[in-house]
Structure 1
Amino acid sequence: MENRSFRRMGRTVGVVGLGAWQLGADWGEVSEADAHATLQAAVDAGVTFIDTADVYGDGRSEQIVGSFVKDKPQLTVATKMGRRMAQEVANYSLDNFRAWNDRSRANLGVDTLDLVQLHCPPTPVFSSDAVYDALDLMVSEKRIAAYGVSVEKVSEALAATARPNVSSVQIILNAFRLKPLEQVLPAALSAGVGIIARVPLASGLLSGRYDSNTQFADNDHRNFNRHGEAFDVGETFSGVDFETGLEAVRRLKPLVPAGATMAQFALRWIIDQPGVTVVIPGARNPQQAAANAAAASLAPLPASTLDAVKTVYDELIRPQVHDRW
């Protein structure tokens, strides 16, 4: 698998990683044995970057990842903090950071976390000198090796990228979310900030496996968060109306290269965007993990295909999402 660099971290990772939200909660049930098998399949396929968060299953995802990565120093594990309390600026304090950090270090079984990301905090947090000072202090204390941010909005990404010690920005980027291509990726590339592309398959819509009759479990966010009832609606189907997304997928399918799946095509599209460091599709079983990793082996998509993706976006998706995030 191709490797790319987090320049400010001094680490390289496989361009396809693994998002571990599915292994914690909100995507239906995944047993611990299945979670470990999924992680192993990803690593066997060349994955070296795993992304989790303290809030996924209230720590379950971190614990599963921690038990798996023990004695695997070649893997980089990123986690997130900040969603276990009310989303108020005052809660983003050094004392709370240390408490959240202690819990994640215990869950993951390490003294120093590879990468800790603020987990989509309120917008004013991204402009707070005190927040970055606290994070810098935690690096000096060797609690964390590096820090980054996970964002909802382009403006938040740009504010974080301008900070000298931010190592990474995690942002929704897929064929249904093109806005980051305009400013965020060029700014990150220039500054040496890594880009972690999340929700790469638009919560599965871009896998091409769904239709109007698809049903999701009661404990699956694709059922209970379609209108933002639990968290930002942009995290579910990238904020795109389900039926509109299905129509967009129907128009994109003829662009898929021979021998590739729709999901692999969607992942390859992200890999081809200048500035992307790693894309983090989730997986609930070993087959999905291996298939996702195989997207790195596809040939780069031709310019005509990239143009066609943009046309579908402009005609169907742009009116719903472009001005929101």
Structure 2
Amino acid sequence: MQNRQLRQDGKTVSAIGLGCWSFAGSYGATSESEAHETLAAARDLGVDFLDTANVYGMGVSESIIGSYLKTTQNTFTIATKAGISRDPQTGARVFNNTAAYLRGELENSLSRLGLEQVDLYYIHRRDADVPIEDVMETLLAFKAEGKIGGIGFSEISPASLRRAAAVGNVDAVQSEYSLWTRQPEMGMIQTCKALGVAFVPFSPLGRGMLTATPPDPATFEKGHFRTGTPRFSEPNFSHNMTFISKFQRLAQTLDISPATLAIAWCLTRGDHLIPIPGTRSAAHLAECVAGCSFEMTREIEDAIDNILPIGWAHGDRYAPEQWPGVEGYC
């Protein structure tokens, strides 16, 4: 397993990590034992970077990781997040970056994880009412207290990253990035590189589309995250599958899985990228890890570009109610 730098103090992690949202049932029913098996497989495969959040199952994902860590020596670097909340009156999703709220959520996350320090702490979504400079001061205070090892932001713009970095070291930025979501190429990947910030792509497999068995929207249960998402709704989904089938055939000619090819492509976008595919399957994780050793060539990259040109995906990546909190740019 290759290593890549996660924090500006030189701390490295495996070249790919494991996204742990699926442990909370966001993509279908699962169990603690299944999640524990996936964590054990990650350890055996050399994957030592876990990504979770306080709102993944409202603490379920963190609690599952915490219960696993009680059974074994902790060899993982763990990132978690806070900043998304719910209006107590309406239940609507809101954002809170105040110092008091973040401190309370951090303490809750540490308790669920069974840790005294989390290796990386992200602001999950920006609260427009709190200047990012003030948010940085809060995070720097947590770091000085030894409660967090590094500072990150999720789904912010390059301009916000520059403002934050002017206050102190930002270690990582997390955004959706894959062969079907390429907006970060319009400034974020470049800004991270220039500032020495790790870029952490989530959903590098296009929320399951860039695999041998893409999801079937007809099987989505109530509450499933992809339900109602434009890219998974007709007629967009059928259009998207015509492109995906060609990508699958390319992977077949290379004698690898589409997931392996998608991760290999992502890793070539820069040596500061650390993709975090989310899965609750040990076998699926092994396909992702194989992307670290696949030898990508210019010829293969050209073939991918011909099959999946920039902007090929039909439909938005989020439904209208999911967009708030994501900072736009370009």
TM-score category, normalised to shorter length: 0.7 to 0.9
Go from structure 1 to structure 2 and tell me whether the alpha carbon gap of 1:315 and 1:143 turns closer, same or farther (over 3 Å shift): closer
Go from structure 1 to structure 2 and tell me whether the alpha carbon gap of 1:315 and 1:25 turns closer, same or farther (over 3 Å shift): closer
Go from structure 1 to structure 2 and tell me whether the alpha carbon gap of 1:317 and 1:97 turns closer, same or farther (over 3 Å shift): same
Give 1:28's aligned residue. 28
Give 2:76's aligned residue. 75
Give 1:233's aligned residue. none
TM-score between the two structures when normalised by the length of structure 1: 0.85
Which deviations, in whole Å up to 9, do the C-alpha atoms of 1:267-319 show, x marking residues without a partner? 111011114431111112222222222221211x2223323433423362388
Shift of 1:16: 1.4
Give 1:53's aligned residue. 53
Mapped partners of 1:194, 1:243: distance in 2: 35
Mapped partners of 1:73, 1:26: distance in 2: 25
Q: Tell me, yes or no, if structure 1 residue 250 matches structure 2 residue 250.
A: no
- The CA RMSD measured in Å over matched residues stands at 2.7
8 Å Cα contact 2:211-2:248 kept in structure 1: no
Alignment gaps of 5+ in structure 2: 88-92, 318-326
Shift of 1:155: 5.2
8 Å Cα contact 2:263-2:275 kept in structure 1: yes
Matches within 5 A, 1:1-325: 1-70=1-70, 72-86=73-87, 91-122=96-127, 127-151=131-155, 156=160, 159-160=163-164, 164-210=168-214, 215-223=219-227, 225-227=228-230, 241-256=236-251, 258-299=254-295, 301-311=296-306, 312-314=308-310, 316-317=312-313
Go from structure 1 to structure 2 and tell me whether the alpha carbon gap of 1:270 and 1:123 turns closer, same or farther (over 3 Å shift): farther
For the residue of structure 2 that corresponds to 1:77, the secondary structure is: strand
Mapped partners of 1:304, 1:189: distance in 2: 25
8 Å Cα contact 2:180-2:311 kept in structure 1: no
Which deviations, in whole Å up to 9, do the C-alpha atoms of 1:122-174 show, x marking residues without a partner? 4565x522111111111111111111011165655565556532110001110
Q: How many residues align?
A: 310
Mapped partners of 1:96, 1:20: distance in 2: 23
8 Å Cα contact 2:132-2:160 kept in structure 1: no
Counterpart amino acid of 2:144?
A: S
For the residue of structure 1 that corresponds to 2:173, the secondary structure is: strand
Mapped partners of 2:60, 2:244: distance in 1: 33
Shift of 1:4: 0.7
Mapped partners of 2:69, 2:181: distance in 1: 32
8 Å Cα contact 2:97-2:127 kept in structure 1: no
Alignment gaps of 5+ in structure 1: 228-235
8 Å Cα contact 1:119-1:149 kept in structure 2: yes
Which deviations, in whole Å up to 9, do the C-alpha atoms of 1:14-61 show, x marking residues without a partner? 111100000013211111111100111111111010000000111010
8 Å Cα contact 1:188-1:275 kept in structure 2: no
Shift of 1:258: 2.1
Counterpart amino acid of 1:207?
A: T
Shift of 1:200: 0.7
Mapped partners of 1:69, 1:211: distance in 2: 31
Counterpart amino acid of 1:188?
A: C
